[in-house]
Amino acid sequence: MSGPRPGLPRWAAVTAIAGAGVFAAVDAVLVHRAGYPWYQSIPDALVGWAYISGGVIAFRAAYITGGVVAFRARRLDRTGTLMTAIGVTLNLDNVAFYVHALVPYAAWLGNLVDPLLAQLLLSYPSRALRSRLERAVLAAAYVQVLVVNGVRVVFVPPNYYPCPCVHSFPTVHNPAVFHALETEIGIAYVIIGTAVLALVFRRWHRSSGRARRALNPLWFAGLATITALILEEVLGFAGLTPAQLNAAYALVTVIGLSVPVALMIGLVRLRQSRSAVADLVVALDRAPGPAGVQQALAAALGDPSLTVCYWDPETQAYVGADGRPAGPDPPPRRAATEVTADGAPLAVLMHDSELLDQRPLLDAVAAAARLALENARLQAALAAQLEEVRASRARIVQAGLEERRRVERDLHDGAQQRLLALSLTIAMISDKLAAGPGTDPDLTQLAGTACGEISAAIGELRELGRGLHPAVLTNEGLAAAVETLAALAPLPVTTRILPARYPPAVEATAYFVISEALANVARHAQASKAEITACGDGGRLAVEIRDDGIGGAPARGGSGLTGLADRVAALGGRLTITSPPGGGTTIRADLPCI
Amino acid sequence: MVVRVFPLGQSGAGEQTGTVIATPQARPGTLVVVDDHARFREAVRGRLAAAGWRVVGEAATGAAAIDLVARLTPDVVLLDVVLPDMDGFAVADRLAAAGNSSAVVLTSGHDRGDFAGRVRAAPVRGFLPKEMISGPALAALLAGDQP
């Protein structure tokens, strides 16, 4: 069956199962009255009822599942058809016990149950019959049951049936042909039955992990039933009394009950896995973001090791949720399930290879998560870009600080050293002029002026260097550098800074924050005193500059504070300004020590 | 202890040094100049020689300075803080550890504040900014009068 089809409504399903139940009860009574013991009539009716009920439940499950996984619905439809067919065939066989006109038809088609059961067992867990061998064995079984057995019934010996039945079945009495075919059918039954047993066992043996656990009840029920049917056929040749044979048949029938029961258990489990998909949809809604999607998928598939890689169209490669490259080649015992959107790669689920046995669940989960995966991929791409921008901003600021240090060093080692040497030389000239008798006093004065000019130039150069990057910061750290700043400030400044060292960029940024803040205090705050504190806890450095001035400083604006806030942010930190009018100003910078 | 008193202004025009009480080291003696700028060493040599100091050796690196001072044991080592191989503090530490008796005077193009507490903690006699190097200033520093 394929394509959409109207579902089996609940009332119809309940009616069908209840009707089959009533029929089974009546059937059991009628078979008993036809002369069969209860221990045979009741199991017969019960098995017929169980198969029909199982079939109805399968149809119903197919209807419910249909929207999520179409091919699973088709498989359930086929399961329902096979189970119902088995149930109807069993019932036909039973009805013949008291509707004698049906006896030859029952004799012809009664054994149809066996190939139907074989087909059910060989096709239920997977999409279709897998191997040519399976198809061949099954075809042989159908040929035996429908063709060979049909011919046998045509050649039925006179008075073979235990009742004087009037029927429409074409009949040519020929006991010799009849018995020959009967022997052939019996032998073929044992051979084909053994082959089916081996094929079912092979399927069980090849299935692994989760699939084996999920389908174990059906495998064991199937293997037990086929074994019992083969033994029953062998017993037919063993010359048992009719009473003993009837007891054996009843036992086999009871064992046969295990297959529909196991199938119904499987259908209940199927509904549970369907609810796993429903739970996933809810979980995806509640836990967005790449990490949330991964967690929800891991929970839905029961594989905590599951990871998700997203397709990055820019690099044409898979990346992890953190934006780092991740290969789609799964390591051993791992498998990759690709999720596509409109034919384009979207994501890859890396999971335990055992999950491959649950392909339909995997596909259903992937389908349910597609939209969330697409969102998560966009988020992952955005996170990667943002991370890149953050990193490049930090690099630019660090490079800027590094450049300032370099320029400061160059100034110090180059121009300043030359000026210093020059100042000593001119001082020496000045000394000599002053000591020498008869020197022009104007010349002495000029030399003195030159000395002063050079000293002033050296002083200015030193200030310039300090503005670029204070040497004391590199040499002694933040505490000493801030002490120097405080000493130069035009108002009393108390400092509370532990003499610890931090990364150069952090120290420099903290220093410039304090320097700019102190300059602002001096310019605008009309404060009588200020206080600087800095404390670090290994991972962070927090500096705070507090004054008792007029407050009202703009939190953001054209001031130097904006530039400071940018520099602090570039290092992943935060600058906050608290400045209520009349309440003083507090500037605080939190810097991570990267 | 010989005490000599220099009248104000005798040692040179424009010097800010006041009355100097000279200890034996304060009298110009032997000197080693350590600085990686040759031009600057030359200027220092000229200036201090004029004040009566005898520059017995020059070094451009910390390692060369340690070697030279160990051999010559001058009265004074004028030691630049910023050297290519190690800083002046490390050189002073090594000299002190070796038990050298030369008085070490640190100098730099940076001012004293840029080294804050380190000068005080180092085994040196004091710190003299480069542009202030002169015979009287050195004598004053050695006499225990920090400028």
Q: Which residue would you say has higher pLDDT here, A136 or A277?
A: A136
CA distance B86 to chain A (A): 13
A163 versus A4: the higher-pLDDT residue is: A163
pLDDT at A587: 92
Q: Are A74 and A1 in contact (CB under 8 A)?
A: yes
What are A343-356's pLDDT values in tens digits?
Answer: 888 888 888 776 77
- How many Cβ atoms are within 10 Å of A189's Cβ, its own excluded? 22
Nearest to B94 by CA among B57, B118, B69: B69
Residues from chain A that touch B130, judged by Cβ atoms under 8 A, are 420, 424
Given this model, what pLDDT does residue A130 score? 65
Among B46, B82, B134, select the one facing A425 at the smallest CB separation.
Answer: B46
Nearest Cα of chain B lies from the Cα of A518 at a distance, in angstroms, of 19
| Beta strand spans in A342-473 (E) | 344-352
Residue of chain B with shortest Cα separation from A421: B40
* Chain B residues within 8 Å of chain A (Cβ atoms): 12-14, 37, 39-40, 42-44, 46-47, 50, 82, 109-111, 113-118, 130-131, 133-134
Lowest mean pLDDT among A5-14, A267-276, A439-448, A544-553: A267-276
> Has residue A327 got a pLDDT over 60?
yes
Amino acid at A456: A
Q: How far is A306 from chain B (nearest CA, A)?
A: 55
Closest in B40, B50, B117 to A431, CB measured: B50
Query: Smallest Cβ distance to B131: which of A420, A435, A480?
Result: A420
Q: At residue B47, what is the residue type?
A: R
**What pLDDT does A223 receive?**
86
Sequence-distant (≥ 6) Cβ neighbours of residue A364 within 8 angstroms: A68, A69, A72, A274, A277
Position B79 pLDDT exceeds 90: yes
Of the ranges A98-107, A278-287, B17-26, the best mean pLDDT one: A98-107
Which of B50, B39, B38 has the alpha carbon at shortest distance from B12? B50
CA-to-CA distance for B2 and B53, rounded, in angstroms? 19
Nearest residue of A to residue B131 by CA position?
A: A420
Q: Which residues pair with A575 in a beta bridge?
A: A589
> Which of chain A's residues have a Cβ under 8 Å away from the Cβ of B134?
427, 431
Report the C-alpha gap between A100 and B52 in whole angstroms.
146
Q: What is the mean pLDDT of residues B96-124?
A: 86
Runs of H (alpha helix) within A143-257: 149-154, 175-206, 209-236, 242-256
- Residue of A445, A453, A475 to mutate when probing chain B, most B C-beta within 10 A: A475
Task: Please count the residues of chain A.
Answer: 594
Å between B39 CA and nearest CA of chain A: 6
Residue in chain A lying closest to B132 (CA): A424
Is residue A309 within 8 Å of residue A319, measured between CB atoms?
yes
Residue A275 has pLDDT above 80, yes or no: no
Helix axes A70-95, A113-123, angle to 10 degrees: 160
Q: Is residue A584 within 8 Å of A547, Cβ to Cβ? A: yes
Comparing A91 with A162, the larger pLDDT belongs to A91
**Chain B residues in contact with A455 (beta carbon < 8 A):** 131
Cβ of B109 within 8 Å of Cβ of A448? The answer is no
Task: For A488-524, write each residue's pLDDT tens digit.
Answer: 889 999 999 988 888 888 999 999 999 989 988 888 8
Dihedral class, residue A161 (left if φ above 0, else alpha if ψ from -120 to 50, else beta) = beta
Average pLDDT over residues A17-21: 89
Whether A462 and B111 lie within 8 Å, measured CB to CB: yes
B27-135 CATH pick, 1.10.3720.10, 3.40.50.2300, 3.60.150.10, 3.90.550.10:
3.40.50.2300
Q: Does the pLDDT at position B146 exceed 90? A: no
Yes or no, beta carbons of A423 and B131 under 8 Å apart: yes
Read off the pLDDT of each residue in A144-167 and give the average, rounded to a whole number.
82
pLDDT bracket for residue A219 (50, 70, 90): confident
Nearest CA in chain A to B39: A421
Q: CB of A364 within 8 A of CB of A66?
A: no
Long-range contacts formed by A266-270: CB under 8 A, 24+ apart: A266/A124, A266/A214, A266/A215, A266/A217, A266/A218, A267/A54, A267/A57, A267/A58, A267/A61, A267/A76, A269/A214, A270/A61, A270/A65, A270/A76
Q: pLDDT confidence of A303, banded at 50, 70, 90?
A: confident
Identity of the residue in B40, B111, B116 whose CB atom sits nearest the CB atom of A417: B40
Residues of A within 8 A of B14 (CB-CB) are: 430, 448, 451
**Alpha-carbon gap: A473 to the closest alpha carbon of chain B (Å):** 8
Other CB atoms within 10 Å distance of the CB of residue A265: 16
Highest mean pLDDT pick, A123-132, A157-166, A336-345: A336-345
Interface test with A, best of B55, B78, B110 (most A CBs within 10 A): B110
SS3 of A36-78: CCHHHHHHHHHHHHHHHHHHHHHHHHHHHHCCCCHHHHHHHHH
Furthest C-alpha separation in chain A: 166
Residue that wins the pLDDT comparison between A517 and A71: A517
Residue B111: its chain A contacts at CB < 8 A?
462
* Contact (CB, 8 A) for A581 and A555: no
Among A304-308, A540-544, B47-51, the minimum mean pLDDT is found in: A304-308
Query: Residue ranges of the domains in chain B?
Result: 27-135
In three-state secondary structure terms, A31 is helix
Phi, psi angles (nearest 5°) of residue A307 = -130, 155
Give how far A426 is from chain B: nearest CA, Å. Answer: 9
Q: Residues near A354 by Cβ (< 8 Å), separated by ≥ 6?
A: A208, A209, A210
pLDDT band at B145 (very low <50, low <70, confident <90, very high): low
pLDDT value at position B55? 93
> A416 CA to chain B: closest CA distance, Å?
7
Residues of chain A whose beta carbon is less than 8 angstroms from a beta carbon of chain B are 412-413, 416-418, 420-425, 427-428, 430-432, 434-435, 444, 448, 451, 454-455, 458, 462, 470-472, 475-476, 480, 483-484, 487
Q: Do A424 and B47 touch (CB under 8 A)?
A: yes
Q: What is the pTM of this model?
A: 0.51
Minimum-distance CB partner of A430 among B14, B39, B113: B14
